[in-house]
Amino acid sequence: MKHKITKLTISTSFDVYPSFDALQAEDRELLAKAKKAVKSAYAPYSNFHVGAAILLQNGKIVTGNNQENAAYPSGLCAERVALFYANANYPNVGVKTIAVSVASAHQIINEPVSPCGACRQVIAEYENLFESPIRIIMSGETGKIFVSESIENLLPFMFNKKHLK
């Protein structure tokens, strides 16, 4: 018996801003805080510094940056540092927007860098927890900036609590 194979096509959508100055004021403020957080990242092994800033639904902004460790799996990405801090200190407040920026000691990064897979899954968890999409602003050191209206654009087949029932 021959089975008919079909193709599933998934498309995502991002707003692309030509520069930092093209962003709305609230997004510029948040991205500026992420860029500032880059400067205090602890990345002595990769020299790849990442900063994140989170705008909570109550208007508070919290930041985080990557924290490396000689035992590589023991480190933590900037996005998760900021998200875990936010939820630990504001457990009943959802995340409105997260901005991520990077800098490298080895090269100038002119393209937006997206969250890693583990960070995408954590962002998905908080979207599901608060039943509200989280905007994601992604930036390199210079150049274009990508903005996603939800983690679904970066993680279309996300694993979440509905799979565990």
How many domains are contained in the chain?
A: 1
- Measured over all CA atoms, what is the biggest interatomic distance in the chain, rounded to whole angstroms? 61
Q: Which of 68, 79, 111, 149 is catalytic?
A: 79
Spatial CA neighbour of 54 closest among 65, 43, 46: 65
Give the per-residue pLDDT at 151: 96
Give the per-residue pLDDT at 163: 80
In a domain? residue 100: yes
In a domain? residue 158: no
Catalytic residue check, 152: no
Give the per-residue pLDDT at 75: 94
In a domain? residue 162: no
In a domain? residue 149: yes
State which residues of the chain have pLDDT below 50. none
In a domain? residue 160: no
Environment class of 21 (CB within 10 Å of its CB; exposed 0-12, middle 13-18, buried 19+): exposed
CATH number at residue 85: 3.40.140.10
Give the per-residue pLDDT at 22: 97
Give the per-residue pLDDT at 164: 84
Give the per-residue pLDDT at 158: 82
Q: How many CA atoms lie within 13 A of 30 on its CB side?
A: 28
Cβ neighbours, 10 Å, residue 121: 16
Give the per-residue pLDDT at 161: 79
In a domain? residue 164: no
